[in-house]
């Protein structure tokens, strides 16, 4: 690599480990050499040299508080972290807020490549849904990357493990229809994640297949939070349209809706049935247990760790969908 870049080996080492002290011209030549040779650090060579076990960065495109307020992501990290440690990986949590490079400003590929290469890890596992403009940088950084969640870009070559959100949502809606419900409202969320779009699509697909109309007046949007579930429920109740059930694309919003119905003394499921999605809500302030579609978090963690070991040994891996399981409880 040093020969191709026409620099010394010491310069290559500095460019990889302390790029801020290398001149832009030399750094450019080293980076061009990295891309041409498809270089990435070999964790096993590092171990033989007396260095550490392979290190993994768990990368989240969220603020710290936002992640740990989410029951799902808190549980996901709590399961993934020990799964990695049990396989002798060193782990670090890396929070990458989407506005790190400027409020309402797109992340440049150059800036993001620099960010990735200066994390000093042997591989990344991405949780959630990074902005589209970062995907090209991921594929060029020559560091093994896996995703928990399907990438937004259909052209991405990054391997992922994900819940089968489409069929999980279909199971929820089919369950409600089989229970005699025909006017099913949807509490959805933002469209910048494939998880939410797949769950919404599963709702619409199932209504069509079962011969029920999809009414835009029965679709409201939240942001995955408990409060947004409350707001969505209030919005539905203000509309002059009847509904007998709700499918919320995550448990927090389902609990928010349930809270509003409890305050209004509307009986669940006699008057309105509710089904959520995630299966990790740890706190239930109601006497009724939520009917929900459960994500198999531990299986996803195991698959990610297995695939990580393979890619670090130079093997290719395929993306994989993990089935979700409908858990019938008391709200539907």
3-state secondary structure of 54: coil
Domains and CATH numbers, the chain: 1-39 (no CATH), 42-162+299-323 (3.40.50.2300), 165-295 (3.40.50.2300)
Calculate mean pLDDT across residues 213-240.
95
Nearest C-alpha neighbor of 160 from the set 138, 179, 178, 175 = 138
pTM confidence score: 0.80
Calculate mean pLDDT across residues 300-305.
97
pLDDT of residue 200: 97
Ranges assigned E (strand) in the chain: 55-60, 90-95, 123-127, 145-148, 159-163, 184-188, 219-221, 245-248, 273-278, 291-294, 320-322, 325-327
The torsion region of residue 149 among left (phi > 0), alpha (psi -120 to 50) and beta comes to left
Pick from 127-136, 187-196, 239-248 the range whose average pLDDT is largest: 239-248
**pLDDT value at 66 more than 80:** no
Cβ atoms within 10 A of the Cβ of 280, count? 20
The model's pLDDT over 80-99, given as tens digits with 9 standing for 90+, comes to 999 999 988 989 888 876 65
pLDDT of residue 100: 53
pLDDT band at 283 (very low <50, low <70, confident <90, very high): low
The mean of the pLDDT values for the chain is 86
Do residues 10 and 2 lie in contact, with contact meaning Cβ atoms separated by under 8 Å? no
**pLDDT value at 164 more than 50:** yes
Calculate mean pLDDT across residues 64-79.
84
CA dist., res. 138 & res. 124, Å (int): 9
Instruction: For residue 288, give Cα distances in angstroms to 104, 157, 177, 242, 295.
Output: 42, 43, 21, 23, 20
Whether the upstream peptide bond of residue 269 has omega within 30° of 0, thus cis, is yes
pLDDT of residue 204: 98
Gyration radius from the chain CA atoms: 23
Instruction: For residue 315, give Cα distances in angstroms to 136, 202, 265, 312.
Output: 21, 34, 57, 7
**pLDDT value at 24 more than 60:** yes
SS3 percent helix, strand, coil of the chain, rounded to 5, is 45, 15, 40
| 22-26, 125-129, 177-181, 261-265, range with the lowest pLDDT | 22-26
What percentage of the chain carries pLDDT values higher than 90? 53
């Amino acid at each position: 690599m040093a020969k191709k870049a026409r620099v010394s080996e010491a310069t290559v080492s500095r460019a990889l480990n302390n790029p801020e002290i290398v001149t832009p011209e030399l750094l450019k030549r080293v980076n061009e050499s990295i891309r041409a040779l498809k270089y990435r650090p070999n964790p096993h060579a590092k171990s033989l040299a007396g260095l550490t076990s392979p290190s993994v960065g768990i990368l989240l495109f969220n603020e710290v508080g936002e992640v740990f307020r989410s029951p799902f992501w808190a549980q996901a990290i709590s399961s993934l972290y020990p799964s990695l440690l049990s396989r002798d990986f060193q782990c670090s949590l890396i929070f990458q807020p989407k506005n790190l490079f400027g409020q309402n400003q797109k992340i440049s590929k150059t800036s993001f490549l620099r960010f990735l290469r200066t994390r000093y890890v042997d591989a990344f596992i991405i949780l959630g849904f990074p902005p589209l403009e970062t995907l090209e940088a991921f594929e060029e950084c020559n560091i093994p990357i896996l995703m928990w969640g399907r990438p937004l870009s259909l052209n991405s070559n990054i391997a992922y493990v994900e819940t089968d959100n489409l069929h999980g949502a279909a199971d929820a809606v089919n369950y409600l229809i089989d229970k005699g419900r025909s006017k099913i409202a949807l509490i959805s969320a933002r469209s910048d994640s494939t998880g939410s779009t797949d769950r919404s699509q599963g709702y619409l697909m199932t209504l069509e297949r079962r011969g029920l109309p999809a009414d835009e007046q029965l679709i409201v949007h939240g942001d995955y939070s408990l409060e947004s579930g409350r707001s969505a429920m209030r919005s539905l109740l203000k509309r002059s349209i009847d509904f007998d059930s709700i499918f919320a694309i995550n448990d927090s919003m389902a609990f928010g809706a349930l809270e509003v119905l409890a305050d209004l003394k509307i009986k669940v499921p006699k008057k309105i049935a509710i089904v959520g999605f995630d299966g990790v809500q740890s706190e239930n302030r109601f006497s009724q247990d939520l009917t929900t579609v459960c994500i198999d978090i531990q299986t996803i963690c195991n698959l990610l760790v297995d695939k990580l070991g393979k890619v670090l040994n130079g093997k290719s891996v395929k993306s994989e969908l993990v089935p979700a399981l409908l858990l019938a409880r008391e709200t539907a």
